[in-house]
Homo-oligomer: A and B are copies of this chain.
């Protein structure tokens, strides 16, 4: 019996499986893309949240990382990472924790207003900063057109002892809504031009231009002038990235193994142990109110194949998932069978599960 069959046989409840080979290949490919683009590779670790997966990045020469919270930074600092960007605006209620951390490792923080800079100053934190720029995603950051506000914030930082302005950082979340590689390249080109203009306006050529997001880092044909890339999701990819075009289906490195608990032959559906507490409620909506929460895969001797045509996770409640299947497949399944679900959003599935199991049955914990 293969190791993987042993792993499957040992599964009693909903389990997030990780294909190490696919994952390592994703890491290698992105490290190569960054090298070819001539940028520093500072991957976002919020997708996997695991010290074990972190080691696979070390094997590719990665030394600098991105995280999304102070707690996540502290976790990876405990596991030997000493150069970390927290890509979330400073929460001034966490200054005590931040100060402690900044004395242990080299930390980069994000600011977007003068008041936060004053609080950092008052707390005596010595750290490097990036100004968060909004190039069009509309979530947070100073709008890239607000040149005066950005120059003024840069000056305020430069006048503050202990704080060093390292660069301008953006997350172009609107690449998720762009159409195709050309649309994504267009966003990257425009953003780079605008950020280079800002760097000149501030008058400091040494400022780094930091760029993130998996769709653009997977699809950009040329790097228009960024100095570092911070993609995260590519480590596992998911159904949403497949829909955007960032990856092929065989690059998705995680699948939720879900026990079948009921078979409804008459409506060609099964019920699985796998719901909102495992997948979150991220979905993809298409025309005619069609909505899906994941693709269905069947397990093989060594992993899983491509998604089954005509099969999808149709709805999720707290623990239940209802899966629609072709009749033939429905007939083959019974209570106790295991099916795999490729998640729509792997980051949220990992955050919900806090545990990954490799095909060999090795359990890896996330943030614990």
Contact = CB atoms under 8 A, between A and B. Distances in A.
Contacts of A46: 318-319
A89 B119 contact: no
A280 interface: yes
Contact of A97 (B12, B88, B141, B273): B12
Pick the most buried of A115, A271, A283: most chain B CB atoms within 10 A of its CB: A271
Q: Give the bracket for the number of chain A residues in contact with chain B.
A: 35 or more
Interface string A63-101: 000001101000000000000000011111110110000
A351 interface: yes
Pick the most buried of A143, A273, A315: most chain B CB atoms within 10 A of its CB: A273
A183 interface: no
B264 A140 contact: yes
Contacts of A228: none
Interface string A1-38: 00000000001110000000000000000000000000
Contacts of A336: 91-93, 119
A131 interface: no
A322 B46 CA distance: 19
Interface string A258-295: 01011110110001010011001111000000000000
A89 B271 contact: yes
B317 A351 contact: no
A334 B89 CA distance: 13
Given A140-B322, A276-B351, 19 more contacts: A11-B93, A12-B91, A12-B96, A12-B97, A13-B69, A13-B93, A46-B318, A88-B261, A88-B273, A89-B335, A91-B259, A91-B336, A92-B335, A92-B336, A93-B336, A115-B335, A140-B261, A141-B262, A276-B348
A86 to B, nearest CB: 11
A352 interface: yes
Contact of A113 (B113, B139, B263, B280): B263
A116 interface: yes
